[in-house]
Amino acid sequence: MLNKTTFPIDRIRVPVKRAKTLDPVKVTALAERILEEGQLTPISVRADGENFVLVEGLHRLEALKALGEETIEGYLVHARLH
């Protein structure tokens, strides 16, 4: 079972391939909703040494960055080796 944790936003790296899918309009709309309702859905990250790599939740991460937040709620997942 995954436990929700708070992660420092400045320690989360977004893979280049994932960053290319960013939609600024969606980020703005999500930021407005987060202001009204809070962060409803946690992101997912995997460990990368002392930092983390985003697995899921790019728009949530960017919306909270835009709002000036320093932390984000999420799940730490373990990467599977293929």
Per-10-residue mean pLDDT, the chain, length 82: 91 92 95 95 94 96 97 90 52
pLDDT at 41: 95
pLDDT at 55: 94
**Residue 9 within a domain:** yes
| CATH number of residue 45's parent domain | 3.90.1530.10
Q: Give the total number of structural domains in the chain.
A: 1
Host H or E run for residue 35: helix 24-37
The reported pTM is 0.90
Tell me the residue range of the domain where 60 lies. Answer: 4-77
Q: Which residue from 29, 17, 81, 82 is spatially nearest to 53, judged by alpha carbons?
A: 17
Q: Which residue from 53, 78, 62 is spatially nearest to 2, judged by alpha carbons?
A: 78
